């Protein structure tokens, strides 16, 4: 805040000289003299509401007035003034000396606000940015205005308060900056503050689903094959929308070329999985693999949604 003060010295002295301009050295009859001196510079002088000239600096500026009471006003900057009723006596001098002193008194702001937030957070989580006032016991309420970048960052709650939450969805690999403009309704001109905090948003890497081999075995008796199928059916049922992917490698021995051919085994296997095990046929794929030496061989895979299909050898 700024405080203005005046140092005033009034001196009276005998003189010989009435109302006239500053430069008139001839004193009118039946008048007294008022001299006005100011420092550090010259200022406007009014007598009885009329502008009569400027004050002197090194020497007092003379003004010749009729005897009696007169209202003296010396006008200073910032609307300040010296006002006094001056008694003028014939043939006497009334000397007014004024010093204009302007002092500035600094007062600490009633708030010193910082903004805090986490250094890093995973994508999709909510960031909380909060403002803390280092000055305790401040009586004047504060106003808060937040701005976040990038533009895709979204304040979900807290605008206008000392803390906000920001949604980080789709912001992986970027930095969120929260800027705070804070002020009050009393000291805003001198104390208004802006501060910020940043948080890095780490990109969440979602693992690509992969197919898992459930079993691989040579086809012997079909009853033995069914027991191996049952185990994989249980596993595929535990994977939502998972697929049972069977690769049949045609063997070259006599049994494989006669009763365990790809065509016979694929039809028999599909019937068992659908009719006996109740597996949705849309979740079953049976493909032909390359030729295997000796016996026909099954390779069974559990394929979750989005995973690449196994490649037959």
Residues with pLDDT less than 50, the chain = 1-4, 10, 12-24
Domain covering 2-104, topology: Immunoglobulin-like (2.60.40)
Q: Where in the chain is the domain with CATH 3.30.1330.60?
A: 212-303
> Cα separation of 78 and 85, whole Å?
22
The pLDDT score that the predictor gives to residue 106 is 67
CA distances from 24 to 28, 57, 62, 141, 142 (A): 10, 18, 9, 61, 61
The pLDDT score that the predictor gives to residue 104 is 66
Domain range 113-202, CATH architecture? Sandwich (2.60)
The tokens 């196994």 sit on which residue? 310
Q: Where in the chain is the domain with CATH 2.60.40.10?
A: 113-202
pTM: 0.46
The pLDDT score that the predictor gives to residue 109 is 84
Task: Lay out the sheet containing 61-65: strands in order across.
Answer: 2-14, 92-104, 32-39, 61-65
Identify each DSSP E strand in 117-192 by its residue range: 120-122, 126-133, 143-149, 154-157, 163-167, 175-183
Note the pLDDT tens digit of each residue in 219-231: 988 889 999 999 9
At residue 174, φ and ψ (nearest 5 deg) are -115, 170
The pLDDT score that the predictor gives to residue 18 is 36
The pLDDT score that the predictor gives to residue 213 is 96
Domain range 212-303, its CATH number among 3.30.1330.60, 3.40.50.300, 3.40.50.880, 3.90.1150.10: 3.30.1330.60
The pLDDT score that the predictor gives to residue 205 is 86
> Cα separation of 42 and 57, whole Å?
6
Dihedral of alpha carbons 86, 21, 92, 12, sign: positive
Note the pLDDT tens digit of each residue in 234-272: 999 999 999 999 999 999 998 889 888 999 999 999 999
Buried b (16+ CB within 10 A) or exposed e, 255-287: ebeeebebeebeeebeebbeeebebeeebbebe
């Amino acid at each position: 805040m700024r405080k203005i003060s005046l140092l005033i010295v009034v001196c009276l002295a005998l003189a010989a000289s009435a109302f006239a301009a500053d430069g008139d050295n001839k004193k009118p009859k039946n008048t007294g003299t008022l001299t006005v001196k100011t420092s550090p510079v010259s200022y406007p002088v009014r007598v009885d509401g009329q502008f009569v000239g400027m004050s002197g600096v090194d020497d007092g500026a003379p003004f010749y007035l009729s005897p009696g009471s007169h209202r003296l006003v010396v006008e200073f900057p910032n609307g300040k003034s010296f006002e006094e009723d001056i008694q003028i006596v014939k043939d006497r001098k009334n000397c007014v000396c004024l010093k204009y002193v302007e002092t500035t008194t600094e007062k600490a702001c009633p708030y010193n606000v910082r903004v805090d937030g986490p250094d890093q957070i995973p994508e999709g989580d909510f960031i909380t940015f909060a403002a803390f006032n280092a000055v305790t016991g401040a009586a004047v309420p504060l106003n808060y205005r937040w701005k976040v970048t990038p533009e895709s960052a979204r304040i979900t709650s807290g605008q206008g308060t000392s803390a906000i939450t920001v949604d980080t969805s789709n912001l992986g690999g970027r930095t969120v900056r929260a800027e705070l403009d804070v002020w009050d309704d009393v000291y805003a001109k001198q104390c208004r503050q802006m501060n910020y905090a940043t948080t890095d948003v780490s990109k969440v890497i979602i693992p690509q689903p992969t197919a898992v081999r459930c079993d691989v075995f040579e086809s012997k008796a079909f009853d033995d094959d069914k027991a191996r199928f049952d185990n994989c059916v249980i596993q595929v049922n535990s994977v939502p929308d998972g697929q049972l992917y069977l690769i049949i490698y045609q063997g070259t021995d006599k049994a494989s070329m006669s009763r365990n051919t790809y065509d016979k085994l694929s039809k028999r296997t599909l019937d068992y999985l659908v009719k006996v095990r109740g597996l949705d046929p849309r979740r079953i794929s049976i493909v032909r693999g390359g030729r295997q030496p000796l016996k026909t061989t099954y390779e069974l895979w559990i394929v979750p949604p989005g995973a690449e299909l196994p490649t037959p050898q």
